[in-house]
A and B are shown apart, each in its own frame.
Chain A
Amino acid sequence: MKKTLRELRPVYVVGIGLHKYQHLSDTTYVTLGLTAVRAALNDAGIGWPSVESAYTGTALIGMAASRPMLRHLGATGIAMAQVENASASGSTAFRQACLDVASGISDVALAIGVDKPAMLNGAPGKTRIRDLVGARVAPFTHFALLANEYMNRYSVSAEQVAQVAVKNNRNGANNPFAQRRKAVTLEEVMAGPAISGTLTRLQCCPVGEGAAAVIVASGDAIEKLKIDRARAVRVIASVSRSERVYRGAKNNDAELTRETVAQAYNEAGIGPADLDLIELHDAFTIEELLYVEAMGLCGEGEGAAMSASGATDIGGKCAISASGGLIAMGHPIGPTGAGQVAEITRQLRGEAGVRQQPNAKIGLAHMVGVGAVCVVHVLQKDA
């Protein structure tokens, strides 16, 4: 009979590390990745030889990224592979690391997301199935269309949607690993430049370079390696789904998130009211409103009002993207999902400094990838 992650051997995040997300530079992916992995090993207080398997979440670097990077930690001969799942690559690398530990195949596993911007032709463009718009509808226009429909349906203004960028940039300003580190006013967000529909530049995430590493371990390994159990954070759900055909006038992106998050709630034995923080796939402002509703944090069309109430600020009922989210922390693709797990771990440990969500006990990480896929994890402070 099949089992959920929680029914397998407990999995704990024991180490996190990042390389700052930043504009494309001449820094190699090797340096980006090693910086994050060494920081994660240091955070866990373990040596590289203790790590038994490694998954590199990356979409843009190219074939065979892992060993040319990780051999510089000492070529220990461990299992390693790349994981590509579009924007959810880092989330999926983390899931694979969790599954290794949960199954008992490894006691300690690494997920390392690393990427550098590159213009690649993705596989969806190679199916020879053409449509009426082709490249003229970029992701920002896909979401501009959803924003237009949402604003019309619920009488929400462009400024209310843009307010998401004000909150997330405010959070990102306090995150030393964020690509955008400047608080902005609503006027600055609205001032443009206009990108598509009502979306302006500051409502679209920057895609740069960076790295995020997460080390997971079993309870046995925590004992054996004398890892500080008080700083370990348990992973209580891991769910990965892909889009179905949602007939009628439904929003595919919201529906995919709705069913993925519902499954994660079920596996974790929690509901939306139990969440203290969420790291959410806010590549574009409108997504935050669509997804908080799909996650059941409020009713349909109530996302903007909930945001305006302060409920999703740090210090509110459920902090959304305390890291700054994709909009401010940035979206370097491979690292993004692993970086979300790092932020939630930091928060649940109570080590997030000025970004700390008070008394954070349960956090959810949510990524969407083009194609389309959705990957969700729930983390809990071990009682």
Chain B
Amino acid sequence: MPETIAAPPELYSASPDGIPKLNGGRCIACGYVFFPPQSYGCEICGASGDQLAPLALKGEGVLRSFATVHLYQGKGIEAPFTVGVILLDDGPAVRALLTQKTDAGLKIGDRMRTVLVGAVPDEGGAGANELRFTRQELLK
């Protein structure tokens, strides 16, 4: 499927504190917290249906690793761009695009938070928002 934005809007929600939350899930049967959300069945215990409940995860965590992608021929973005693995304070590790194009100044262990960036061109050229992670210190 051609992708103009990497992060579909159903994966995050606005938050009063201005830090978008991630729409994760929690297994009521075993307590496992996961992202992205799904209702097929719990990867730990196999519980399904009503046992898998939505859970909003705080869009904050610690950078576990990062890589600047130099080769990309898909839609919506041009290389280079930088991807990170963020260990969320609420448990799961997620992979996301970072706001910075290159890895300049990035360090493993950096505090990260979600941010909506605008004007990512979509197929109609109208632009769409996209969720990315950014270094918290850049926002101070």
Residues of A within 8 A of B (CB): 121, 125, 127, 129-138, 140-141, 144-149, 152, 193-197, 245, 249
Contacts and interface: CB of A to CB of B under 8 A. Distances in A.
A64 B133 CA distance: 45
Contacts of A194: 70-71
A245 B43 contact: yes
A133 B6 contact: yes
A141 B96 CA distance: 12
A196 B131 contact: no
10 contacts: A133-B6, A134-B6, A136-B6, A136-B74, A141-B69, A145-B66, A145-B83, A194-B70, A196-B69, A245-B43
B85 A149 contact: yes
Given A145-B83, A245-B43, A129 B74 contact: no
A196 B71 CA distance: 7
Interface string B1-36: 101001110110000000000000000000010001
Contacts of A196: 67-71
B132 to A, nearest CB: 8
A156 to B, nearest CB: 13
B34 to A, nearest CB: 9
B77 interface: yes
Given A132-B6, A245-B44, A195 B97 contact: no
Contacts of A134: 3, 6-7
Interface residues of B, number: 36
A130 B22 CA distance: 13
Contact of B96 (A133, A135, A195): A133
Contacts of A132: 6-7, 11, 36, 94-97, 131
The 7 nearest A-B residue pairs measured at CB: A197-B67, A144-B67, A149-B65, A148-B65, A194-B70, A132-B96, A132-B7
A149 B97 contact: no
Contacts of A121: 1
Nearest to A128: B38
B117 interface: no
B8 A149 contact: no
B21 to A, nearest CB: 13
A127 B40 CA distance: 10
A195 B80 CA distance: 10
Contacts of B65: 145-146, 148-149, 152
Contacts of A147: 67
A195 B6 contact: no
B44 A148 contact: no
B3 A135 contact: yes
Given A141-B67, A149-B65, A133 B74 contact: no
Given A145-B85, A196-B70, 19 more contacts: A127-B38, A133-B96, A135-B74, A136-B74, A136-B83, A138-B69, A141-B83, A144-B67, A145-B66, A145-B67, A148-B65, A148-B108, A149-B108, A152-B108, A193-B70, A193-B71, A194-B70, A197-B68, A245-B32
